[in-house]
Chain A
């Protein structure tokens, strides 16, 4: 109970701070729009290569951009933990009966909620651009859930890295190091049959691709709910692992004090 209420209070604090600097919200949204609108237009003829399941590249791209955005957001989520560590905000909480778990969870949940809000905005823009989700409302829910899970899974990892390194510069390096490779080793921008064999194999083990596949599955016709469920379960399992990892590194941090 205390963990849930403390997590809530800590998320509210972060949400409030984010609202105070609305420029961040704008910045967070510009990038996915660039991908969706500019990139989507630039490569609109790519579907002629075949294997995309639709003639509209933007329909193919939109659910993947939602997931990609959630993934990129997650790789940066550790920065906020480093800010709180540097400003001794974490220590202040540690000297109170506040839940230890809430300190880590609030960061992950805050990150996931941000991804969910961004997902909705991107989907609305996609809708305006003529993208239709084949499975309707259930499909929207799946896309948002995929965004939340991909974000939580990588946010857990990002938090763990933040707690181990405790340095912004290292965080930036790690985010850049894993960001683009995981993006390119997925079907985010291209249909699977158009990828080289070895990349197709690599994508199978890429959690970003799990999210992309689940989200895209509900947008295009011929939805296989079984594979949607499987990918979401895989992401849920990964989230559990990385969250546990973040919690464990938090204990390591506490012991180092």
Chain B
């Protein structure tokens, strides 16, 4: 059975169509990534799945329960780690965990044991009795995750788990999430705008752009689907049309043009094609600023399916 099924979700906030027909499915026990720039609709999707937001149309189920009709059942079975933490900064880590357990209907010895277990699991036992205000960003994020796990949920939602963390803390967090997926036998849905993170963590992922899923698959499948290496040719004077003609002539027909000056082509074997490409451009008298070759990355997948460069779009968002 699928742990999460999302079917044609739509949601509009005023002028903004946040979700424009999102559909995907997550299998039980997998780590599924929703990848896209800020504002693509990832968080809105998650907020719908955790029953915070009601969609305008479409349906979704989590752990076999409809998120609109069986909210109580869904809430018992999910853990939600929101983008903005939501911890009580004036309370200690332990107090936050205890309160979360109480509202989840736990108590007594069971809750105490679980609290200790989680503090240990996420590695903040030493800071358990300190006020959260004094925590580092990484510690606070680990507490967030522990809060989502108190009641042993079946499905865990991690909304941008590493945003705002320094690169070192991010790598640690990746290891933690992978470990959690195994030790707590969880299905995890995580959203991220880091391509690297999706590549590292997700068994499968969906790329979200402008409120829609544009493609879904394992990172390997998505990269393999591109068939070949990407050649980026950056032109000195933007003679894109001429350069495109030359490139097509040597079997490197342009796929996309970035910023009006960089042509992206895809060739079966980059190493072998590169000398031919360079000499053809040189022969035609086209001034080239740089040529680069890359094995397919999720960056390319993103570019290929959305027609937009991930980095630029994410910065713009």
Contacts and interface: CB of A to CB of B under 8 A. Distances in A.
B241 to A, nearest CB: 49
Nearest to A84: B88
A88 B85 CA distance: 7
Contact of B103 (A21, A96, A255): A96
Given A16-B95, A98-B103, A92 B47 contact: no
A9 B103 contact: yes
Contacts of B72: 97
A204 interface: no
Given A13-B88, A87-B86, A88-B86, A95 B100 contact: no
Nearest to B50: A95
B83 to A, nearest CB: 8
B90 A20 contact: yes
B52 A91 contact: yes
Interface stretch (B74-82, B201-209, B223-231, B296-304): B74-82
A2 interface: yes
A95 B52 contact: yes
B131 A20 contact: yes
Interface in B52-89: 52-54, 72, 75-76, 78, 80, 82, 84-89
B101 to A, nearest CB: 9
Contact of A92 (B80, B89, B102, B131): B80
B102 to A, nearest CB: 4
B103 A6 contact: yes
B75 A96 contact: yes
B82 A93 contact: no
A87 B84 CA distance: 8
B145 interface: no
A17 interface: yes
B281 interface: no
Interface string B87-106: 11111000100011011110
Which secondary structure dominates where chain B touches chain A? loop
Contacts of A92: 80, 82, 86-87, 100, 147
Interface residues of A, number: 23
B51 A95 contact: yes
A257 interface: yes
Nearest to B76: A97
B202 to A, nearest CB: 22
A89 interface: yes
Contacts of B86: 87-89, 91-92
A5 B104 CA distance: 11
A21 B91 CA distance: 12
Contacts of B85: 87-88
A19 B158 CA distance: 33
A13 B92 CA distance: 11
B102 A6 contact: yes
Q: In this complex, which of B50, B84, B88, B89 has the most chain A Cβ atoms within 10 angstroms of its Cβ? A: B88
Interface in A95-134: 95-98
Given A5-B102, A97-B72, A98-B103, A91 B95 contact: no
Contacts of B90: 16-17, 20-21
Interface string A56-97: 000000000000000000000000000000011101111111
A120 B121 CA distance: 46
A97 B65 CA distance: 14
Contacts of A17: 88, 90-91
Interface in A15-30: 16-17, 20-21
Interface of A: 2, 5-6, 9-10, 13, 16-17, 20-21, 87-89, 91-98, 255, 257
Given A20-B90, A96-B103, A97-B103, 13 more contacts: A9-B102, A17-B88, A87-B84, A88-B84, A88-B85, A89-B87, A92-B87, A94-B52, A95-B80, A96-B100, A96-B104, A97-B76, A255-B54
8 closest A-B pairs (Cβ-Cβ)? Answer: A92-B86, A98-B103, A88-B86, A95-B80, A17-B90, A9-B102, A95-B50, A97-B75
